[in-house]
Structure 1
Amino acid sequence: MTNARAKKMIVLGIDGMDAKTTHRMVEEGKLPHIKRFLEAGSSRSGLEMLGAHPTITPPCWTTLATGAYPGTHGITDYWRQSPDSLDAVVYNMDSRNCKAEQIWNCTIEDKLKTLVWHWPGCSWPATSTNPLLSVVDGTQPGSVNMGVAQMDWEKIIYGSGDLDTPKFIPHTEKAAGVGCNITNLKEVVSSKKLNEDEDADDEDEMMEIWWGDESRKGGEIRTYVKSLEDTEMMIGAKVAYDIVMTPIKPADDWENAPADALQFELMISAGKEVRYGLITKNAAGKYDTVTLSRTKNANETFVTIPEGEMVSGIIDDATKNGETKPCCRSYKILELSDDGQTLRLWISNALDTTNDMLWQPKDLYQEIVKNVGPVPPVSLIGGEDAELVDQIFLPSWDIYCQWQADCIEYLIEHDHFDAVFSHLHNVDCAGHQLWHLAKTLYPWKATDEKVYQSFIERVYIQTDAYLGRFCHFLDEGYTIFVVSDHGLLVGQNVPPILGEYGGLNVQVMADLGYTTLKKDAAGNEIDEVDWTKTTAVQIRSNYIYVNVKGRDAHGIVDPKDQYELEDKIISDLYNYRDPVTGKRVVGIAMRNKDAAILGVSGPECGDIFFTVEEGFNCLHGDGLTTAEGYFGTSTLPVFIAAGQGVKTDFTTDRVIRQVDVTPTIATLLGVRMPAQAEGAPIYQILAGVD
């Protein structure tokens, strides 16, 4: 323990924030609040630090919290390798899998009241029952409660005076005409076949994946990535929402409906419940407002939606798996004709307002709901539909960022927290939907790269506004760190099927002769490994496992031949060429023992660690932390420190690594270092140190 240089600390973590993009936009005068932090504090000239590897959310946030490399703390990817299957993974964002101590255990030991807010990877379940520690979520990176509280999907309601009967089209089917104009309504309907007996609840995988029963039990997840269509960036950019087709007609069977009001119906809760809508005129005779009700009584509406405004924080019931809960939703009119005969209305997903499962103590949740408001849902649609990005996705994150800033500010001021470790996911969430569309490449020719580049900048401006909410704490004696886990780059080429974090990467390893899939009777490959012919597989971002006899369930490689086989795999990876450009696609490849120099060795890592060569990287996770991409982007994370105990308007030449963040926090607060910390304090930025 050392003498404290700071009394109070706020860590503002921004998932996916890229140092190169941040630096450029600061220089262009577009991020004034970040500029304020820089003038009040210290950083490198490019605002960067070196991130951990893989450049993936859970291992990097865990490194930031522990000061230890992934090979030490054991959170080595989004997923953990299944102990029973080389082609399967199990969920990994669980503090019980972390083998290194977190910094917040040290702050509470020194009597500092500590808040850990949505820190993904190693914070939940809470690492201590000490009443000085409060923890909110951390089981997934998206938004607070997203993994456990979702009761219903997002929807777009298409209303028309030309329709005769309502139809509900669940998100489980591919929506023809998604994002189309209202004139294509009949084409949308005619292209669909809705099974009236289908239970859409059974398909709600998104709502169950994070902290459901299988995650808690460590159930296996098996995904095969065989082509570009199987990759996360292709899937993530596709919109997925329920569609409701509804007739618009005069409101002649309502109580208390205004004169000339029009009515429609919409279905929620997998199409099993009905809400009633009115479309009403303004003083000029233009239809411009929608109201919704549970009954056909205009005096009992629960939301009024003016044209051009996203309305959030609205409570309405939703039912899932036979349970009905009060839920928070948001609404926005996308299109409403002056005569009221055409309507497109977006309705957000529904978040159960009673779910306090991921809050310690639980009364903290009720305190937030009472004094700030329920968790606002964020949109997960947009992708290749630029209108939805502009009108829905980004505005929903504007509302969420404001809510999160309100929550943290309230808790600091009213509950008097001394140390706050917080995480916000807006940049990374947008990145997974949008970044790859910021360069014109053949899979996405229909998108305008300039439009998507402007979206990238909007997300950073949104983030700057969020960070600006905390600037006043610099004047109140707080030390503030602004950090990120990794940056996000815009890919320069279509990436190879190698390094995808979500599953077993087949194509390159099959081309090289190491992975073989079984075939059906017609000779078509199926999603099942032929272990009798497979000597190695590539899974979980950057790891390759040799199929070793006696170690692995279906092992065929004699242990005495493993070293020689690893040497051949590494050689073949270096020799592999992209079939389009002819360029090498693998950057580095090394055995587990050698990967210790990058902090990715040991039992939780593969037999071989590799990275994809710069120029073939997708968003993040497959390359080095120093990788750069199109539109001046990179995977370099951000580091800025400001406030008490930190030099002002100072630039250091020292190389800063993520493992150094926790030791620096410990030094500033005068608490002990976490037990497994491997980094060193950034002494060069500390006030009073020459």
Structure 2
Amino acid sequence: MTEKPRTDKVIVLGIDGLDSRTANRLVNEGKMPNLKKYLERGSAHKGIKLLGSVPTITPPCWTTLATGAYPGTHGITCYWRQAPESLDAVVYNMDSRNCKAEPIWNETTKNGKKTMVWHWPGCSWPPTSKSPLLSVVDGTQPGSVNMGVAQMDWEKIIYANADIEKDHFTGHTDKAAGVGCNITDLSEVLKNPSSEASDEEDEMMELWWGDKSREGNEIRTYIKTLDDTEMMIGAKVAYDQFFTGIKPAEGWANAPEGALEFHFVVSGGTEERIALITKGANGDYDAVALYHTKDDAEPFAVIPKGKMVSGIIDDVTKKGATKPSCRSYKILELSPDGKNLRFWISNALDTTNSMLWSDNDLFHDIIKNVGPIPPVSLIGGEDAELVREVFIPSWDIYCQWQADCLEYLLQHKQFDAIFSHLHNVDCAGHQLWHLGKTLEPWKNTDEKVYQGFIERVFQQTDDYIGRFLHFLDEGYTIFVVSDHGLLVGENVPPILGEYGGLNVSVMEQLGYTTLKTDADGNKIDEVDWDKTTAVQIRSNYIYINVKGRDKHGIVDPKDKYDLEEQVINDLYNYRDPATGKRVVGLAVRNKDAVVFGTNGDEAGDIFFTVNEGFNRLHGDGLSTAEGYFGTSVTPTFVAAGPGIKANYTTKRVIRQVDVAPTIATLLGTHVPEQCEGAPIYQILTDND
């Protein structure tokens, strides 16, 4: 059944991690003026709240937004998917072939709408429709477009000083000297690129859509301590470091008077670049010029002090393949006398990689008319200077580029429907949100500084969505939505509910999971299945080790129900050793989790959430959970434009499953086949 269309064109501005509680506060404080304009011209629930699905994790929630189906129906029930044959392993999950429900964009193309799906994580890639009206860009990972397949080299910081006599390179595996890939004989490495630097496995770069992920190979991660969790790892993402000397420029074909020279390495430490530090009009050193050789007449880039420069193309080599790659650069510190320099270089993105663009011509069109994809920083949140000077500015540039791309598609390629996703808030959340409250593990950070960063990222987002306001006057209906919010936690979380693998600690304390030990009695990362009756893996699931069902099963199927009851009781009774507070907020059997839409074959035997106050960066409690500094897990919903009531607040609870059928109703298309939500008729104008 379809209705008469209320609009011909739709733009969905999806913002990953945009917390409605924080956004609403900033609107009221005048800090998000563009979101306020959408509200004045459109409709929302009180507090711009959207009731999200559970678990509150990127792929399940974006898939629910696209299909109108709950995770138990569409089958994307976590960031990772449970490994089919192993209770302690996961496989990659952002693959549309794992989704059992139809997305809304397949229906828009059936209705003749030229449709773009831009970096929508969870159920968009590979495209599930062969319609020539459908274009899809990436969607295999949530970070930034092409991040999972096009990275050629890591971020790095160059430390150059006139007093350094011997070069030293430390690879990204660990920033501490003496650990990871340390190179002190650089000349030997440059002569022999097959050395340890180039052979080192870049797992993080290839995790999202590499061969292992596509083949469904198992990923086995044991989470035993706080240091194993994403809030600790994400805040300390490593980067390459290179220490080198500064000296007067010698032997250059065209060096400015008084210039100083230094050099650094790229391509995992296997290739060299040279640079000049040059003077400004006042006689102070204030810029870095980058060259390939001293014979070059001109630099390939000039970086002025105080400005991040992006869009610089330079060849980078990885595993024997050399590609033109886009980088950004910034001077972090430069003394007036030019004798001390800290210089940031971004990761490098291959500008020729179009494997995740369903329309290859469109990829080249974007590169030509908008520009190459700018890299974003993952440099780590615990260094406030780098957050301020590198992380946030890199996302400023990326947000501008993405807005430019979408405007170009709308104005020059005449797309009728765009479903887009931006990851700036969520990426910042994983690296630094937890630092918004000073707790023991990060007691040396200033929570006020990080609270300021949170507001800065929300304002960055407001600038981004403001770029599209004029399309309301051009006949487009615009939705601003998010998948979940992100909390500043009240307490340090226990090792339970971490999304990335097997959570050992609490389940070990409760007597359900046992690890094997080595000859010296030390625990190793291997489950002793003969003594393990249940495991907690991924964000919200517990599996009983059932005989006949699971490879190493020891629990008799007739005892499964009673064991589930025991596990649920123990979860509710478990108290955090540090605070004495209950850790688990909700725990139910798989059959009962249908009430929350999180049941079925892709969910565990028990579904649970961590209690409010013990929130994680992924898979927090219910969508209603709130945290420190006025944060919440509750996502955002605002709609404006043709077919939507202006300046209207509905009392109806708006759910994520309602978004897709509302778009279908506005456009007059069929709702997706497995849709379980209903159109938000309360915010729609009369259909005359």
TM bucket, shorter chain: over 0.9
* SS of the residue 2:657 aligns to: helix
Other-structure match for 2:563? 565
1:287-326 maps to which residues of 2 (within 5 A)?
Answer: 287-297=285-295, 299-326=297-324
Q: Does 1:80 align with 2:89?
A: no
Other-structure match for 1:227? 225
* SS of the residue 1:450 aligns to: helix
Hey, what's the Cα distance between the residues in 2 that align with 1:405 and 1:105?
24
Offset of 1:581 from its aligned partner? 1.2
Hey, what's the Cα distance between the residues in 2 that align with 1:2 and 1:553?
51
Residues 170, 200 of structure 1: 8 Å contact kept: no
- Specify the code of the residue in structure 2 equivalent to 1:162: D
Other-structure match for 2:346? 348
Residues 585, 616 of structure 1: 8 Å contact kept: yes
Q: Which consecutive residues of structure 2, in runs of 5 or more, have no partner in the other structure?
A: 190-194
Aligned to 1:476, which of 474, 477, 489?
474
Q: Which consecutive residues of structure 1, in runs of 5 or more, have no partner in the other structure?
A: 177-187
User: What is the TM-score of this pair, normalised by structure 1?
Assistant: 0.97
C-alpha distance after superposition, 1:378-398 (max 9, x if no partner): 001131000000000000000
* SS of the residue 2:50 aligns to: coil
Offset of 1:137 from its aligned partner? 0.2
Q: Does 1:383 align with 2:381?
A: yes
Offset of 1:194 from its aligned partner? 5.6
Residues 4, 687 of structure 2: 8 Å contact kept: no
Hey, what's the Cα distance between the residues in 2 that align with 1:225 and 1:275?
40
C-alpha distance after superposition, 1:432-483 (max 9, x if no partner): 0010000000000110000000000000000000000000000111000000
Hey, what's the Cα distance between the residues in 2 that align with 1:445 and 1:193?
33
C-alpha distance after superposition, 1:190-209 (max 9, x if no partner): 99676964234433111110
Other-structure match for 1:179? none
After the TM superposition, which of the residue ranges 289-298 and 476-485 deviates more from structure 2?
A: 289-298
* SS of the residue 2:531 aligns to: coil
Offset of 1:230 from its aligned partner? 0.5
* SS of the residue 1:453 aligns to: helix
Offset of 1:282 from its aligned partner? 1.1
Other-structure match for 1:31? 32
Hey, what's the Cα distance between the residues in 2 that align with 1:606 and 1:255?
67
- Specify the code of the residue in structure 2 equivalent to 1:236: G
* SS of the residue 1:34 aligns to: helix
Other-structure match for 1:134? 135
Other-structure match for 1:123? 124
Distance 1:276 1:508, change over 3 A: same
Other-structure match for 1:180? none
C-alpha distance after superposition, 1:18-45 (max 9, x if no partner): 0000000000000000000000000011
After the TM superposition, which of the residue ranges 249-258 and 564-573 deviates more from structure 2?
A: 249-258
1:2-401 maps to which residues of 2 (within 5 A)?
Answer: 2-176=3-177, 197-297=195-295, 299-401=297-399
Distance 1:345 1:189, change over 3 A: farther
Residues 166, 265 of structure 1: 8 Å contact kept: no
* SS of the residue 1:12 aligns to: strand
* SS of the residue 2:536 aligns to: strand
User: What is the TM-score of this pair, normalised by structure 2?
Assistant: 0.97
Distance 1:436 1:207, change over 3 A: same
Residues 480, 637 of structure 2: 8 Å contact kept: yes
Distance 1:513 1:73, change over 3 A: same
Hey, what's the Cα distance between the residues in 2 that align with 1:626 and 1:131?
40
- Specify the code of the residue in structure 2 equivalent to 1:109: K
Hey, what's the Cα distance between the residues in 2 that align with 1:235 and 1:630?
21
Other-structure match for 2:602? 604
Hey, what's the Cα distance between the residues in 2 that align with 1:665 and 1:193?
56
Hey, what's the Cα distance between the residues in 1 that align with 2:21 and 2:654?
15
Aligned to 1:460, which of 458, 461, 465?
458
Offset of 1:166 from its aligned partner? 1.9
C-alpha distance after superposition, 1:617-651 (max 9, x if no partner): 12341311111000000000000000000000000
Hey, what's the Cα distance between the residues in 1 that align with 2:199 and 2:538?
29
- Specify the code of the residue in structure 2 equivalent to 1:58: P
1:592-631 maps to which residues of 2 (within 5 A)?
Answer: 592-631=590-629
Hey, what's the Cα distance between the residues in 2 that align with 1:528 and 1:108?
48
Offset of 1:583 from its aligned partner? 1.1
Residues 27, 36 of structure 2: 8 Å contact kept: yes
1:643-662 maps to which residues of 2 (within 5 A)?
Answer: 643-662=641-660
Offset of 1:239 from its aligned partner? 3.5
Hey, what's the Cα distance between the residues in 2 that align with 1:333 and 1:284?
18
C-alpha distance after superposition, 1:371-420 (max 9, x if no partner): 00000000011310000000000000000000000000000010100010
* SS of the residue 1:360 aligns to: coil
Question: Sequence identity of aligned pairs in percent?
Answer: 72
C-alpha distance after superposition, 1:589-610 (max 9, x if no partner): 0000000000011100000000
- Specify the code of the residue in structure 2 equivalent to 1:606: G
Hey, what's the Cα distance between the residues in 2 that align with 1:2 and 1:198?
63
- Specify the code of the residue in structure 2 equivalent to 1:270: G
Offset of 1:127 from its aligned partner? 1.1
Hey, what's the Cα distance between the residues in 1 that align with 2:393 and 2:246?
27
Distance 1:189 1:113, change over 3 A: closer
Hey, what's the Cα distance between the residues in 1 that align with 2:577 and 2:359?
55
Offset of 1:689 from its aligned partner? 7.7
Residues 382, 392 of structure 1: 8 Å contact kept: no
Hey, what's the Cα distance between the residues in 2 that align with 1:11 and 1:312?
27
* SS of the residue 1:300 aligns to: coil
Offset of 1:283 from its aligned partner? 1.8
Aligned alpha-carbon RMSD (Å):
1.4
Residues 169, 243 of structure 1: 8 Å contact kept: yes
The count of corresponding residues between Structure 1 and Structure 2 is 679
- Specify the code of the residue in structure 2 equivalent to 1:107: T
Hey, what's the Cα distance between the residues in 2 that align with 1:201 and 1:319?
12
